[in-house]
Amino acid sequence: MNNTILSIKDIKKKYFTKSGEITAIDNISLDINEGEFIAIVGPSGCGKSTLLSILSGLIDKSSGEIIYPNQSKKKLGYMLQQDCLFPWLNILDNCLIGLKIEKNLTKEKKERVIKLLELYGLKDFIYKYPKNLSGGMRQRVV
Ligand SMILES: Nc1ncnc2c1ncn2[C@@H]1O[C@H](COP(=O)(O)OP(=O)(O)O)[C@@H](O)[C@H]1O
Ligand SMILES: [Mg+2]
């Protein structure tokens, strides 16, 4: 039997703008099973980013349900099309900015971030700036 890890039920999303209401997603339902690779394909503007932003908690849905059958709540991230690195900060400082803002930066956490950057093959770029990195490298920083 399939082990469903994420169940999306009748998700709907409306954006409200000055010029009116846009239905970006209309009743999407989908089950994702363990080990599956799923591609969501469609023309520009059909709602792919909207769905991913809802799943990762960046924006709210208008209606519907997101169910993780095995866990009550799960953290889900996704790789944005455009990275949001600050051009005036080096790679390490870009990675530490969240912790700094939260006043949650410790020596141990900084060391862990450096270890992760090394793990992702960015050891020689820690003190470089985003403009010195390729698109793929920038995405690995994100
Ligand atoms: N923040 C927003 N405010 C208003 N409308 C939006 C916003 N984001 C996306 N849309 C609209 O929602 C629809 C789906 O957009 P999007 O999810 O970005 O599509 P895709 O990623 O498939 O190209 C489009 O019509 C787009 O114009
Ligand atoms: Mg998109």
Residues 21, 112: Cα–Cα separation, whole Å: 44
Report the atom number in ligand 1 closest to the C-alpha of 59.
1
- Strand 20-33, strand 4-17: pairing: antiparallel
Q: What is the per-residue pLDDT for 77? A: 81
Instruction: Tell me the best of 46, 55, 56 to mutate to test the pocket of ligand 1, counting ligand atoms within 8 Å of each CB and taking the most.
Output: 46
**pLDDT range class, residue 72, cuts 50, 70, 90:** low
What average pLDDT does this structure show over 16-30?
Answer: 96
- What's the pLDDT band for 17 if we cut at 50, 70, 90? very high
Contact 76, 66 (CB under 8 A): no
User: Please, is 42 exposed, middle or buried when counting C-beta atoms within 10 Å of its C-beta (0-12, 13-18, 19+)?
Assistant: exposed
Q: What structural domains does the chain harbor? A: 4-67 (3.40.50.300), 91-141 (no CATH)
pLDDT at 37 (0 to 100): 93
> Which of 63, 4, 80, 12 has the alpha carbon at shortest distance from 38?
4
C-alpha to C-alpha distance for 128 and 40, rounded to whole angstroms: 34
Q: What are phi and psi of 30, to 5 degrees?
A: -165, 135
What is the arrangement of strands in the sheet containing 4-17, beginning at the earlier edge strand?
Answer: 20-33, 4-17, 63-67
Q: Which atom of ligand 1 is nearest to the CA of 47?
A: 17
Q: Is the pLDDT at 10 greater than 70, yes or no?
A: yes
CA 63 to centroid of chain Cα atoms: 21
Mean pLDDT is lowest, of 32-36, 69-73, 88-92, for 69-73
Ligand nearest to the CA of 40: 1
Interval between CA 47 and ligand 2 midpoint (Å): 7
Query: Is 4's pLDDT higher than 80?
Result: yes
pLDDT tens, position by position, 113-138? 999 999 999 999 999 999 999 999 99
Backbone φ and ψ for 77, nearest 5 degrees, come out as -115, 165
Report pTM.
0.79
Ligand 1: centre distance to CA 45 (Å): 5
* Protein residue closest via CA to atom 27 of ligand 1: 45
Contact indicator for 11, 54 with CB cutoff of 8 Å: yes
* Nearest protein Cα to ligand 1, atom 24: 45
List the residue whose alpha carbon is closest to atom 20 of ligand 1.
45
- Per-residue confidence (pLDDT) for residue 78, from 0 to 100: 84
**Ligand 1: residues within 6 Å at CB?**
15, 17, 22, 24, 42, 44-50
